[in-house]
Structures are given as structure tokens and as C-alpha cells.
């Protein structure tokens, strides 16, 4: 039911798809012991959405030895959006991964998911949005009416769309959504099978590399300015039983994030080394765009911080739009005892 109708592939499209597909990184094989001589703890980490530059900081943390120094042997696998990442972590097939905080609030507040907590911010502002290309006659949110969009079923872009549409003056019932997968969405857009796709706005360089057209982005943050972007989550069980382990992992990942933002070209090359089909130039450009979302107005504070007041505002926005069936408080989704301090 959730399978996209296949479109006729061309050689050019196959090449384009290769830019964003790829295999996950395997476990460290060079050494099974950490800096203190103790055996490394095996951890599975999911990216937020496929293998793109915006997630390259995890490979940086692995490649530069930040995970190993913290006592971890990390396997990195491509995620498929907020809903799927939550499901996999709660199910025990992975221990950590980033989700969009707003998407997490929607999942938790509507009874679609539970037993997970956020332990650090990746981006201080949401990067969710709709992406299209020139020639689709989409220049504003209202232009989405009558159009066909693709995204993964559990993606925050898709789940948040009714709220975005209401606030942007769009009749959501006039927009058709079809199912896709993280690695093939851009190829689907390039093929002309859909008019737009759910995508983080920093994906613009990769979209242009795949489609060979100028991208047009409709950021959700234009109408919902208080929303956080991605946050690192783990299961409630791990957070409760292994708090120090969570802090060590978070610290190592934040080192990777800082390094990737400071050295985007090297980060793009590291991604290419680990994901053969990655486009290092596009990855570099994504990281350069992402820097403003990670640091945002919090440029003087430590990466990863989360503010309870801002989370409460996000909840209020969703409640005001009628998007939550249950009342929520910030500490129901965030373990503030594990979050990096400002």
C-alpha cells in the first residue's frame, strides 16, 4: 500500500540516484579497545534520513576517533525519518539517532510512539520543508494546492504538513501525498513523477546536483519560527539505566558535529569514504547551510542545549493548531538531566 508506483528509469536518473544512495558504515575493525584499554561498547546509530551531508557528522565522530575515545564501537545505518527512527530505537535495533523534535511531539502526543527521550539538540531551528524545482509553478505555499508530493510515511515534513498548511493558508485536502524512501525521493522529483518532496531545506545543493535544476524551497520555519530541528534520542530504558553512557555518546557526537561544521570539506570527504555513492561537494554545501540552524541565535552556548521554555512554545503551537490529541509537557519528551548544559 505504501509503495510508490515505479517510474521508467533512465541512465541519467540512475546516475542521479547513485548520488544519494549508499551503504551504511560498518563497525571499527582497527581496534576493539578504547583509550583506557577497556573493551569498546557496541552501539548502533541511525542517521536522520538517508546518507546525506547533513548527517555526515556521525561519520566524522567515528573517523576522527571521538566515538572510540568515549568507549564506543559504532555502526552507522541510514534512517528513514522520524517515525521509523523512533520505532527502531524503541524496538532495540539501534540505541541512538536524530529525529525532528516536532515530529517526535506529534508521535508522542497522538499516541503513535512512546518510550523514547531526547537528550541533545542537533539544530536549534527546524529544517523541515517542501522542496521542488523551477518549472513546477510552485513559488509559495498556496501553490502546493493541486500538486503531488512524496515523502516517507513517518517523516516530520509529512506529519507536520497539516499544521503548516493551516498556518500558511493552504487547503491541505487539495494536496496529494504519495509514499517514497529517503534515498530515492530526489530521484523521484528528478523523474517528474511528483511535483515536490518533503525535505530538509539544507538538501538544496543535493537536489540541484540530482535534478540538474534550480531548487525551490518552502521552509516550515517561515511560518513556525519557534520549532527546534533534529534532536538526538535514545530509548527511555537506556536513558534511565545508562545515563553516563548516554552522556559519553552525546559528547562524542557533539564533537563530531562541531568538527564537521568547522571543516565541511573534510566532513564531505569522510562521508564519501564511508558511503561510496555520496557527493562530497553537495555534502560540504549542506553542512555550510546547516551551520546557521545548529548554532542559530545560540552561537555563544554549547552545542546540543535545549530550553524547556522553547519546547513548551512548540507544544503550544501544535496544540493551537489542533495537531495534538494529548496534552504534553517538555519533560515528557526530553530528559533535561542528560542534555548538555548551556
| Secondary structure element (H or E) that encloses residue 74, with its range | strand 72-77
Residue 338 belongs to some domain of the structure: no
For residue range 53-109, list pLDDT tens digits in order. Answer: 999 999 999 999 999 999 999 999 999 999 999 999 999 999 999 999 999 999 999
Question: What is the C-alpha to C-alpha distance for residues 275 and 297, in angstroms, rounded to an integer?
Answer: 32
What domain range is 150 assigned to? 126-222
State residue 16's pLDDT score: 40
Same domain assignment for residues 280 and 165: no
Residue 10 belongs to some domain of the structure: no
For residue range 245-263, list pLDDT tens digits in order. Answer: 999 999 999 999 999 999 9
Residue 306 belongs to some domain of the structure: yes
Same domain assignment for residues 95 and 141: no
Residue 85 belongs to some domain of the structure: yes
* CATH number of the domain to which 162 belongs: 3.40.190.10
Same domain assignment for residues 232 and 328: yes
Domain boundary among 157, 188, 222: 222
Instruction: Provide the residue count of the chain.
Output: 342
State residue 35's pLDDT score: 64
Question: What is the C-alpha to C-alpha distance for residues 125 and 145, in angstroms, rounded to an integer?
Answer: 26
Residue 5 belongs to some domain of the structure: no
| Secondary structure element (H or E) that encloses residue 277, with its range | none
Residue 342 belongs to some domain of the structure: no
- How many distinct structural domains can be found in the chain? 2
Same domain assignment for residues 117 and 266: yes
HSE-CB of 196 using CA atoms within 13 angstroms: 35
Same domain assignment for residues 155 and 301: no
Average pLDDT over residues 198-205: 92
Instruction: Provide, rounded to the nearest whole percent, the portion of the chain with pLDDT above 70.
Output: 88
For residue range 4-37, list pLDDT tens digits in order. Answer: 333 333 333 333 434 344 444 444 444 577 666 7
State residue 154's pLDDT score: 79
Question: What is the C-alpha to C-alpha distance for residues 229 and 45, in angstroms, rounded to an integer?
Answer: 18
How many angstroms separate the first and last alpha carbons of the chain?
45
State residue 36's pLDDT score: 66
For residue range 54-67, list pLDDT tens digits in order. Answer: 999 999 999 999 99
Domain boundary among 222, 253, 285: 222
Same domain assignment for residues 247 and 327: yes
Domain boundary among 199, 222, 245: 222
Same domain assignment for residues 98 and 245: yes
Residue 15 belongs to some domain of the structure: no
Amino acid at each position: 500500500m505504501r509503495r510508490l508506483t515505479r517510474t521508467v528509469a533512465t541512465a541519467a536518473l540512475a546516475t542521479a540516484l547513485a548520488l544519494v544512495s549508499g551503504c551504511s558504515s560498518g563497525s571499527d575493525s582497527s581496534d576493539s579497545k578504547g583509550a583506557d584499554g577497556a573493551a569498546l561498547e557496541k552501539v548502533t546509530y541511525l542517521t536522520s534520513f538517508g546518507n546525506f551531508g547533513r548527517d555526515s557528522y556521525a561519520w566524522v565522530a567515528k573517523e576522527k576517533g571521538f566515538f572510540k575515545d568515549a568507549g564506543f564501537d559504532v555502526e552507522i545505518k541510514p534512517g528513514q525519518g522520524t517515525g521509523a527512527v523512533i520505532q527502531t530505537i524503541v524496538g532495540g535495533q539501534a540505541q541512538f539517532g536524530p529525529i525532528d523534535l516536532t515530529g517526535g511531539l506529534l508521535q508522542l502526543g497522538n499516541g503513535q510512539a512512546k518510550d523514547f527521550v531526547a537528550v541533545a539538540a542537533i539544530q536549534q531551528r527546524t529544517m523541515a520543508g517542501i522542496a521542488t524545482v523551477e518549472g513546477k509553478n510552485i513559488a509559495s505555499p498556496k501553490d502546493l494546492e493541486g500538486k503531488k508530493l512524496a515523502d516517507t510515511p513517518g517523516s516530520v515534513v509529512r506529519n507536520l504538513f497539516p499544521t503548516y498548511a493551516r498556518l500558511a493558508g493552504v487547503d491541505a485536502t487539495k494536496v496529494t501525498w504519495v509514499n517514497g524512501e529517503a534515498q530515492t525521493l530526489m530521484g523521484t522529483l528528478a523523474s517528474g513523477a511528483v511535483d515536490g518532496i518533503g525535505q530538509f531545506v539544507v538538501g538544496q545543493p543535493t537536489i540541484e546536483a540530482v535534478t540538474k535544476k534550480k531548487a525551490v524551497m518552502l521552509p516550515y520555519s517561515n511560518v513556525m519560527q519557534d520549532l527546534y530541528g533534529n534532536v538526538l534520542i535514545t530509548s527511555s530504558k537506556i536513558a534511565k539505566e545508562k545515563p553516563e553512557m548516554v552522556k559519553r555518546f552525546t559528547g562524542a557526537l557533539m564533537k563530531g558535529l562541531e568538527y564537521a561544521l568547522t571543516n565541511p570539506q573534510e566532513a564531505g570527504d569522510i562521508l564519501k569514504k564511508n558511503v561510496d555513492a555520496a557527493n562530497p561537494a553537495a555534502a560540504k554545501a549542506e553542512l555550510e547551510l546547516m551551520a546557521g540552524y545548529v548554532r542559530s541565535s545560540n552561537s555563544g552556548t554549547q552545542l546540543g542545549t535545549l530550553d524547556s521554555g522553547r519546547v513548551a512554545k512548540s507544544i503550544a503551537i501544535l496544540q493551537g493548531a489542533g495537531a495534538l490529541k494529548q496534552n504534553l509537557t517538555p519533560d515528557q519528551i526530553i530528559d533535561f538531566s542528560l542534555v548538555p548544559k548551556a
